Amino acid sequence: MTTAKPATLGDLKQTEWGNPKRHLRPIKEELRENLICLLEAGAEIFPGIIGFEETVVPQVINAVLARHNFILLGLRGQAKSRILRSLVTLLDEEMPILAGSEVNDNPFKPISRYGRILVEEQGDRTPITWVTRDQRYVEKLATPDVTIADIIGDVDPIKAARGGHLLSDELTMHYGLLPRSNRGIFALNELPDLAGKIQVGLFNILQEGDIQIKGYPIRLPLDVLLVFSANPEDYTARGKIITPLKDRIGSEIQTHYPPTVEHGMAITQQEAWLERGRPIDVPDFIRELVERVAVEARNDKRIDRRSGVSQRLPISVIENVLSNAEHRAILTREKRAVPRVADVYAALPSITGKIELEYEGEIQGAEAIARDLVRRAAGKTFESRVGDADCDAIVRWFDEGSALKVSLGERADACLRGFSAVPTLLDVVTQVGLAPKQDPGTIVSACELMLEGLVAQKRISRSDDLGYTRVRPDRPSPPFGKGGPGGGGGTGGGPNLFT
């Protein structure tokens, strides 16, 4: 049986909230004390934040312990907003406020005129309501059209008319987002996009904790943690953070992209929509290939590094890869869908829209660069997974004039018959541990990775017309690979499977 929460100020005084050390504790002290408890208990701080354990997270912890307002600086897709939202976990689960208060008035020390009048008139009978930790977090995306009224507040003539108040009366004020964040966290994303005069309006809040509305001498000693995010590129592209405001922000913390491919894979696995309601098995090497596409893009000189390559790229790509594999399984009536390298090429629309090109890249075109990124990513994955495995027999088979073309829409068993024509190919993929012998879908996917890796190393060639061939074919390839099958297979027939 649960105990009813206090509903009046008198009831609240009989609980632990009646202790001034509790009810007069500032928000920054609340965050600090709860963080210390988590650290002493050895609990995970900011669960779900991957790759920042030794860099960003310790700096955020230090900022909270120092009771600093802070800003996160980083390129797009570096989990800045997610970190800010994770600060909610450091708040108390619930907090009492005066019922009807727009600014989360502390029942023991209200800051608004409404709250003071309510307590004076009703005393211990003053009604209390409770807000959860999620309700104490307010987030605003800074845009050039944001006004002082949006952030701080404005005079409301309708309130004045209905209540018979003078416009200078505090009861006529309409509070903005910041006063409504009192005793909580206010997060402002993309700070440089905020107009300079609005940034000036934050000075007093950061330094003294009070505000003014329309020049009226209203003092609201706000108790709020202010946190910001910004993209360094924004300083020159769209706006800037004015120097006096930067000076008042306690800590400036730099974020970054995942430090390793493994970290990136873990983030993508956590964030992507992978549960499709039908069996879909994603080989590890396909996950790695997708992640390496983003890594290659971040190091490509044809792509604007100042804009960055968001972690949303591999998340969107893997979702598109699964969709293409799912599409194929539905059409071919296969019970299990297993993504292949060809499915990564089919996911180019998830790449081209997430890269900003330099001049050289604009000349080549986004799609050509995206294809090159996939090819290079396949080569890196091949190196990490296959290593120094003996592929000479495979290369020699193509050098002798054989060719192999696999249709994206073919069933795994039909593709497997085609790959079996390439000497030692199936043996190598099982020897290096890419696929078990009993799993045709994964074997086909692994065979594609092997051939794509050899293409990336320029040991064989691939074209849309001929498929996989020798590096420089001086004559058209035969209709089927030398020693290959004499006819097609699967749902598409011979011409659709091999050329």
Residues 346 and 414 in one domain: no
The pLDDT of residue 1:
43
Residues 381 and 475 in one domain: no
Q: How far apart are CA 351 and CA 343, in angstroms?
A: 13
- Do residues 167 and 194 touch, judged by C-beta distance below 8 A? no
The pLDDT of residue 499:
34
Q: How far apart are CA 56 and CA 49, in angstroms?
A: 10
Question: 3 lies in a domain?
Answer: no
Sequence-distant (6+) residues with CB within 8 A of 328 are 334, 337, 343, 408, 409
Question: 377 lies in a domain?
Answer: yes
Question: 2 lies in a domain?
Answer: no
Residues 414 and 463 in one domain: yes
Question: 4 lies in a domain?
Answer: no
* Percent share of the chain, pLDDT over 70: 87
Q: How far apart are CA 482 and CA 349, in angstroms?
A: 36
Question: 427 lies in a domain?
Answer: yes
Residues 171 and 63 in one domain: yes
Residue where the block lists tokens 């592929």: 391
Residue 320: CATH number of its domain: 1.10.8
Enter the pTM of the model. 0.86
Band (pLDDT 50/70/90 cuts) for residue 494 is: very low
How many Cα neighbours within 13 Å face the side chain of 358? 12
Residues 286 and 210 in one domain: no
Q: How far apart are CA 150 and CA 308, in angstroms?
A: 31
- Taking only the tens place, the pLDDT of each residue in 65-118 is 999 999 999 999 999 999 999 999 999 999 999 999 999 999 999 988 889 999
- Which H helix or E strand runs over 189? strand 184-189
Which range of 156-165, 252-261, 463-472 scores highest in mean pLDDT? It is 252-261
Domain end position, chosen among 357, 386, 415: 386
Instruction: Write the secondary structure of 242-282 as one string of H (helix), E (strand) and C (coil).
Output: CHHHHHHCCEEEECCCCCCHHHHHHHHHHHCCCCCCCCECC
User: How many Cβ atoms from other residues are within 10 Å of residue 344's Cβ?
Assistant: 28
Taking the CA atoms of residue 75, residue 77, residue 83 and residue 85 in that order, the dihedral angle to the nearest 10 degrees is 120
Question: 52 lies in a domain?
Answer: yes
Question: Residue 488: pLDDT above 60?
Answer: no
- Taking only the tens place, the pLDDT of each residue in 349-363 is 999 999 999 999 999
27-34 average pLDDT score: 97
- Do residues 221 and 40 touch, judged by C-beta distance below 8 A? no
326-346 average pLDDT score: 94
Domain end position, chosen among 366, 386, 406: 386
The pLDDT of residue 205:
76
Residues 100 and 220 in one domain: yes
What is the number of structural domains in the chain? 3
The pLDDT of residue 163:
62
Could you tell me whether strands 467-469 and 94-98 are parallel, antiparallel, or unpaired per DSSP bridges?
unpaired
Residues 79 and 193 in one domain: yes
Residues 350 and 420 in one domain: no
- Taking only the tens place, the pLDDT of each residue in 288-326 is 999 999 999 999 999 998 888 999 999 999 999 999 999
Question: 330 lies in a domain?
Answer: yes
- Taking only the tens place, the pLDDT of each residue in 127-176 is 999 999 999 999 999 888 888 888 887 766 666 556 666 556 666 677 88
What's CA 371's distance to the chain center, in Å? 24
CA distances in angstroms from 83 to 133, 289, 308, listed in the order given: 16, 27, 19
Residues 290 and 331 in one domain: yes
Residues 190 and 214 in one domain: yes
Question: Residue 31: pLDDT above 60?
Answer: yes
The pLDDT of residue 243:
87
Residues 101 and 176 in one domain: yes
- Taking only the tens place, the pLDDT of each residue in 173-199 is 778 898 899 999 999 999 988 888 888
Give me the sign of the Cα torsion angle 27, 29, 30, 32: positive
The pLDDT of residue 486:
31
Residue where the block lists tokens 């078990």: 436
**Candidate from 167-171, 220-224, 376-380 with smallest mean pLDDT:** 167-171
Residue 194: CATH number of its domain: 3.40.50.300
Question: Residue 485: pLDDT above 70?
Answer: no
DSSP string, 89-142: GGS-SEEEEETT-SS--BTTB--SHHHHHHHHHHGGG-BEEEEETGGGEEEEE-
Residues 364 and 494 in one domain: no
**Candidate from 169-183, 252-266, 461-475 with smallest mean pLDDT:** 461-475
User: Which of 464, 456, 343, 463 lies closest to 408, judged by CA?
Assistant: 343
Beta bridge partners of 254: 73
Domain end position, chosen among 222, 238, 254: 254
Domain of residue 402, residue span: 388-499
Question: 1 lies in a domain?
Answer: no
